[in-house]
Amino acid sequence: MTPSVLAALAPPVAQTPALAATATGVLALQERFHAVIPGGSHTYAKGDDQFPESMAPYLVRGKGCRVWDTEQQEYIEYGMGLRAVTLGHAYGPVLRAAQREMLRGTTNVGRPTVLELRAAEDFLETTGAGDMVKFAKNGSDVTTAAVKLARAATGRDLVACCQDHPFFSTDDWFIGTTAVRAGIPDAVRQLTLGFRYNDLGSVEQLFAEHPGQIACIILEIEKETPPAPDFLPGLRRLCDQHGTVLIFDEIITGLRWHVGGAQALYGVKPDLSTWGKALGNGFSVAALAGKRELMELGGLHHQKERVFLLSTTYGAESHSLAAMRAVLAAYRREPVNEHMQQAGDCLRRLVSQSIDEYHLGGHFAVLGQPQCLVYATRDADQQPSQGFRTLVLQEALRRGLLLPSLIVSYAHQPADIELTAERLHEVLGVYRKALDEGLDKYLHGRSVQPVYRARN
């Protein structure tokens, strides 16, 4: 790699691979977790069914791009808190800002704090995401609030969400569209429609089939596939034409793609946008931002019917807002986006060399923008394979890589990337053998499972 912003900040990295947590240690804790927590995890994407059997470590500490488990085994992490951590674990300026605010004794008091005003002004000035903002604790809060505003503003009930994007909310309006729909009334499920990404025709068809009934269009701006040149402008045009609210879910893309979100990168403004993940670098903070005429429906300065919008006990928790302000300051001060792009580009390039060397084209692929890479696994027939995904996770864990994805952060330095590529080269060597000799010879235990499935 040529000298760059990335290389200039590189610290030394230990060269000894960590060993994955022992099955005995994992199983002892696993039973206790499942005894008191449904599913053994508070987040489905972190659950036991998403990792190789008896191998998923339980973590106790993180620093930079590394985490340590209960047995003090070290891993280079490529999940980064489900993409929430962009600056690195235990990033000093963020921790210090949160600590200072906690010591003021205003974590949760009986009236708004001045910090809430400063945080709102800071967010709006830094991101340019709208005229007003309201904070909450997680992405589901703000996406559901955006849908509620759209319904109130338009007087319509139907919601159209992108079928090619995996998650928008834990609330009924979205989860009712998935295979995990137990407990959600059919009447609620019928209110959500689906369209395809980069397919304006599918959106036009919805408007034709449901004239004057669609309150909002909601989608992520980009996942692994970039938007076609006419797609986002076309959505803006169609929403304007039909009086429908355009909502961009920037929970992942906000800050990680650009300090102004992917909407700034691609130059298309929604009516409302939702933010989270990177805002707090691991602290719990989310934001709903948008046009004043919509946002003010949840306020006190209008004569229309009131919307009960995001009234949460902990939405303005002071140490999380202080953490967010420190994150925004870091993005203004440091080349965070450039660094992540360079790190991801380098990782993709090095892994692609291994893919070519082992003739794995069509079987293993690295996808997405460099700052948010994922990998795809396919079997000998080039069909999507959970079994081969499990094999990658298994072999990566054995080599000290926590690899649910290939998500980089500002803390991933050139030596980390190069060490990761070396270990992934070994992993892909095993992948090649499993293709040639049979997966069962190399995979130990059951395969990982999709989160969205009707039964265990």
In a domain, 132, yes or no: yes
From 3-17, 176-190, 308-322, 358-372, the region with the lowest mean pLDDT:
3-17
Residue 15 sits in the same domain as residue 118: no
Residue 394 lies in a domain: yes
Q: Do 31 and 136 reside in the same domain of the chain?
A: no
What does residue 160 show for φ and ψ, rounded to 5 degrees? -115, 120
- Minimum mean pLDDT among 127-136, 259-268, 294-303, 413-422: which range? 294-303
**CA 220, CA 168: separation in Å to the nearest integer?**
9
- The verdict on residue 386 lying in a domain is yes
Query: Does residue 2 register a pLDDT over 60?
Result: no
Instruction: Please determine, for residue 82, whether its predicted confidence score (pLDDT) is greater than 50.
Output: yes
Same domain? For 162 and 63 the reply is: no
Mean predicted confidence (pLDDT) in 277-287? 98
Report residue 145 as tokens: 């609030």
Asked whether the CA dihedral 195, 198, 200, 201 is positive or negative, the reply is negative
Alpha-carbon dihedral of residues 420, 447, 389, 396, nearest 10 degrees? Answer: 10
* Residues 191 and 149 placed together within one structural domain of the fold: yes
Question: CB under 8 Å to 402, separation ≥6 — which residues?
Answer: 57, 67, 75, 76, 77, 78, 79, 396
Query: CB of 241 within 8 A of CB of 255?
Result: no
* Token pair for 229: 């040149």
User: Is residue 330 situated within a structural domain?
Assistant: no
Cα 350 to Cα 425: distance, rounded to the nearest angstrom: 9
Quote the pLDDT of residue 241.
98
Instruction: Report the amino acid identity of residue 127.
Output: T
Are 204 and 70 found together in one domain? Answer: no
CATH of the domain at 168: 3.40.640.10
Indicate if 300 and 377 belong to the same structural domain: no
* AA letter at 322: A
Single residue among 316, 347, 382 that ends a domain in this structure: 316
Judge if 16 and 129 occupy the same domain.
Answer: no
* DSSP secondary structure string for all residues of 324-375: HHHHHHHHHHS-HHHHHHHHHHHHHHHHHHHHHHTT-TTTEEEES-GGGBEE
Run of H or E including 207:
helix 200-209
98 falls within a domain: no
Within a domain: 323: no
* 174 and 129 inside one domain: yes
Q: How far apart are CA 323 and CA 230, in angstroms?
A: 37
Q: Is residue 329 part of a domain?
A: no
Q: How many Cβ atoms from other residues are within 10 Å of residue 280's Cβ? A: 24
Domain shared by 31 and 159, yes or no: no
Say if 328 falls within a structural domain: no
How far apart are alpha carbons 206 and 194 in whole angstroms? 8
Domain count, the chain: 2
Q: What is the pLDDT of residue 23?
A: 66
Q: How confident is the model at residue 337 (pLDDT cuts 50, 70, 90)?
A: very high
Q: Provide the phi-psi class of 397: left if phi over 0, else alpha when psi is between -120 and 50, else beta.
A: alpha
Whichever domain contains 85, its CATH number is 3.90.1150.10
Residues 300 and 437 in one domain: no
Residue that is last in its domain, among 260, 282, 316: 316
**Tokens encoding 243:** 């009086």
pTM score of the predicted model: 0.93
Residue 163, pLDDT > 60, answer yes
- The pLDDT confidence band at residue 14, using thresholds 50, 70 and 90, is very low
Q: What range does the domain containing 147 cover?
A: 108-316
Q: Are residues 74 and 115 in the same domain?
A: no
What's the pLDDT at 347? 98
Report whether 263 contacts 233 (CB < 8 A).
Answer: no
pLDDT of residue 54: 84
Distance in angstroms (rounded) separating the CA atoms of residues 248 and 261: 10
Q: Are residues 287 and 363 in the same domain?
A: no
β-sheet bridge partners, residue 61? 68
